Structure 1
Amino acid sequence: MNIVNIGTDKTLVGGPKLGDAVERHARYGEFVENLDIIVYTNKSENLRTFSLSENVTGHPTNSLSKVFFYIDAISEFKKIYTKNRVDIVVCQDPFLPGLAGLAIKKKYGVKLQVNFHGDFWDNPAWLEERWINRLFLKISKFVVPRADAVRVMSEGQKNKLILEGIDPEKIFVISTPIDMKKFLKADRPAGQEAEHSLPVIMHVSRPDNNTKDFETLFKAVSEAYKKKRFFFRQVGAGFSQETLKERYPDISTEFLADKNYMFLGNTEPEKLLSLYNSSDVIILTSTSESFGKVLVEANACGKPIVSTATTGAKDIIQDGLNGFLVPVKDSRALADKIVYLLNNPNKAQEMGECGRSMVKERYGDNTEKIVRLWRNILNT
């Protein structure tokens, strides 16, 4: 079985790393003959073909701009197809990757799977993020009905697609694979309290201000800091203090002056695991999240979570049991829940342990489920 994946995760062509995407895709390779991954990159980045494992290869498009990604992805596919007859094209979103995948399906007769890693349909918050999202929505509603299979991350997403008339028989709920053993067995590093002498709040995200809503994040952190001192850690965006003042003028000057914060950029998986375990509360402020891998990882480490009530978060969090849900963009509600957990450490620990039990039962390495889906697609 030969698979081609089309997406935008530059980690898969040697770009800056956050999380375990390289390891996950290398594991897919254990079940197929070849996995080739076409990734949008800009020509100025000068990225090269990247080997993830013996039979898993990342191919950067090095496009002049994202406008040309559609054409470049099809061109890159043609090169791959001449070497190995491709069985399935997997598109990581239903927009430009999905549109390219649909064109490839029609020209080469391959099967098409489209993934939803975001909460796009029936989501006003997502539409408001960027004007182009309205165009992307139209593209997705053209592509998705013509796909052979649609993989979503949550039941909430599946229900949205069914309401839009998508055949439920071709919608599969399979969340992103997570190495649960790694998180469940980890212990909190000794000496954390001595290092900061304050409880630690952590947020994990790439620097995507639209979907991840850093404005709400820093408003909430500032409001919470006025009521309770803590150490704040943001992992993935790599902010500087100058960037914060420029982009988020509402951030508390007191918070900045105390310097009880740390901003980290791309982080190796093992380091990220250590950071989870040296934190007390994990927060997420996304406006549209189809799953919420960070939330599952945090719970697996026994940490309580506070998140905006996205479709994905509502699938993971039972409000008041393993964490708290707050309305999207509601910085005050988020701040209140942060302060509550910091003021009630026994309750926070109880919620974290409840979360550990819940995710242990529900989530894990879904790699083989995804491979079975590919085989099912080929047999239909």
Structure 2
Amino acid sequence: MKILFIIMRFGKDGLATNIAELADGLVNKGHEVHIITGGFKEQKDQDNTFFSSLRQRFANLGIKMHYFKEPQGGIFAKGYHSLKSLVQIIFRITKIKPEIIHCHSPNLTFIPWLLGKKFTSTVHADTIRPNARYKHPTLLIAVSEGSKNFTETVMHTPPESIRMVYHGIPERFSEPETQENLKRLKREHQIPEDKIIIGLVGRITQQKGTDVLVKAIGQYMPKELIHKIFVVIVGDYQTPKHELWLEGLLEEHKLTGKLKVLGFQDPKPFYQLFDVFVLPSRSDTFGLVAVEAMMGGCCTIRSNGNGASDQIEHGVNGMIFPMEDSASLGKQLTEVLTNDDLRKSMALKGREKALACFTLEKMTSNTLKVYQELKSL
């Protein structure tokens, strides 16, 4: 099939990762993939290696990229550029002649709708709200029970048009790292050898709940345990102000020097370096990094946002705490860090769940079923 993805822009986030993985799976099954996009959210003052690697990955897969200029400027300039970009996108679609249109940005769903095309769209965020640019897709892909409920209650999606497809990740996350490599990572990043490592992967921002984790450790864990731990965050500050915000939090909770920010990079080896992985997000549609950690064999604790109940049976293959509840998170961290058998058991069962339910192969196959259904309508 000739498949077209439409996305506003690529950022350093789970959306970009999911699109890259899905494109990889589709190409490896013999399908032709095109992407229409406004480009990449590169910033001059940040490391943009992620974006250069993403471009190279798309190039290696033979994916054809088609760019439009994202509207900017004042109200009149923005209106003019919006119209110009719309014409450009429509021209690209008519030239590509895709068999499947998969819109990954909700505010661009009006474009295939304008053209009278059947299309599908994936719910990648639970922060969108109904607006003039959002149009219901022919078939909508929900990635968790929570995102399904969100589309029905908030976006008013007809329930009969919703299809469930869990996010999936490559099985490389289950491949063991050598002890030599893990020791090298600790040396390179100055991570203490004699500490229990609590890990987090994601942007440093209120939405991702960085403060929830800091408060859980600083206020709700025993002091004798706090002395034994070290926190590692694999991710970038959302803005320069968030660096000052985190520094203030650490100072407030007397945790200065007990946390290190490594910057955004391939998190795969770090999941096996962490003793416990935490996802404290205030907003998620699935929480892809939790599944990566589970597949990596890391004991996982996450907030009860969308995707939590799909991924974790509390106390069996991980733990779930109420969103923003630092006291509950502190209690759960204390429990797993003082009970080696419990931590190892949940890590093992979490890995089994991830390999059974959340692989790239499953995501690709189930997405193709939606595409086939779409073609038949």
TM-score bin (small chain):
0.7 to 0.9
Corresponding residue number in structure 1 for 2:232: 233
Instruction: Give 1:1-380 correspondences, 5 Å limit.
Output: 1-10=1-10, 21-30=19-28, 31-39=30-38, 41=40, 50=55, 52-53=58-59, 55-65=62-72, 68=78, 71=83, 74-94=86-106, 96=107, 100-106=108-114, 108-120=115-127, 136-139=128-131, 143-144=134-135, 146-162=136-152, 166-179=157-170, 181-187=171-177, 189-190=179-180, 192=183, 195-207=192-204, 209-223=205-219, 224=221, 226=223, 227-228=225-226, 229-238=228-237, 244-246=243-245, 249-252=248-251, 256-257=255-256, 259-268=257-266, 272-365=267-360, 366-380=363-377
- Residues 50/274 of structure 1: CA separation in 2 closer, same or farther (3 Å cut): closer
Distance 1:291 1:330 in 2: 19
* Separation in structure 2 between the aligned mates of residue 263 and residue 17 of structure 1, nearest angstrom: 22
SS in 1 for 2:65: strand
Paired with 1:274 and 1:91, the residues of 2 have a C-alpha distance of 32
One-letter amino acid of the structure 2 residue matched with residue 150 of structure 1: L
Tell me the distance in 2 between the aligned counterparts of 1:2 and 1:154.
Answer: 27
Deviation (angstroms), 1:41 = 5.0
Contact map agreement 1:310 1:328 (CA 8 A) in 2: yes
CA shift in 2, pair 1:199/1:44, >3 Å: closer
Question: Would you say how many aligned residue pairs link Structure 1 and Structure 2?
Answer: 350
TM-score (norm 1): 0.78
- Distance in 1 separating the partners of 2:197 and 2:329: 15
The question of whether the paired residues in 2 share the 8 Å contact of 1:87 and 1:111 is answered with no
**What is the CA-CA distance between 1:60 and the residue it aligns to?**
4.3
Matched position secondary structure for 2:179: coil
Q: Structure 2 regions of 5+ residues with no counterpart?
A: none
Paired residues of 1:239 and 1:263 also in contact (CA < 8 A): no
Paired AA for residue 130 in structure 2: K
Q: CA deviation at 1:71?
A: 4.6
Task: Find the residue that maps to 1:282 and give its secondary structure.
Answer: strand
Which whole-Å CA distance do the structure 2 matches of 1:158 and 1:18 have between them?
21
In structure 1, list runs of 5 or more residues that go unmatched: 121-135
Q: Is the 8 A contact 1:4 1:38 kept in 2?
A: no
The 2-side partners of 1:360 and 1:340 are apart by: 26
- Residue in 2 that maps onto 1:128: none
The Cα of 1:205 is off from its aligned counterpart by 0.8
What's the secondary structure of 2:134's corresponding residue? helix
| SS in structure 1 of the partner of residue 356 of structure 2 | helix
Task: Kindly state the Cα deviation for residue 116 of structure 1 after the two structures are TM-superposed.
Answer: 0.7
- Which is worse superposed, 15-24 or 287-296? 15-24
On the 8 A contact 1:308/1:328 being kept in 2, the answer is yes
CA 1:143 to 1:239, structure 2 compared with 1: closer, same or farther past 3 Å? closer
For 1:139, what is the secondary structure of its paired residue? coil
CA distance in 1, matches of 2:89, 2:338: 55
Distance 1:44 1:283, change over 3 A: closer
- Once residues 268 and 124 of structure 2 are traced to their aligned partners in structure 1, the CA distance between those partners, rounded to angstroms, is 22
Contact 2:71–2:82 at 8 Å: present in 1 too?
no
1:244, distance to aligned residue in structure 2 (A):
3.8
Q: CA offsets per residue over residues 30-60 of structure 1, 9 Å max, x none? A: 4433422314557987999956135413344
Distance 2:95 2:354 in 1: 41
Distance 1:305 1:50, change over 3 A: closer
Tell me the alpha carbon deviations over residues 304-355 of structure 1, each in whole angstroms, 9 at most, x when there is no partner. Answer: 1111111211221111111211111112221221122111122111111121
Structure 2: distance between partners of 1:73 and 1:4: 17
When residues 260 and 249 of structure 1 are mapped into structure 2, their CA distance, relative to the original with a 3 A threshold, is closer
Preserved contact between residue 151 and residue 172 of structure 1 (Cα < 8 Å) = yes
SS at match of 1:186: coil
For the Cα contact (< 8 Å) 1:231–1:261, is it kept in 2? yes
TM-score normalised per structure 2? 0.79
Conserved 8 A contact 2:167-2:358: no
1:41–1:62 contact (8 Å) kept in structure 2: no
Against the structure 1 CA distance between its residues 235 and 70, is the aligned structure 2 distance closer, same or farther, given a 3 Å change threshold?
Answer: farther
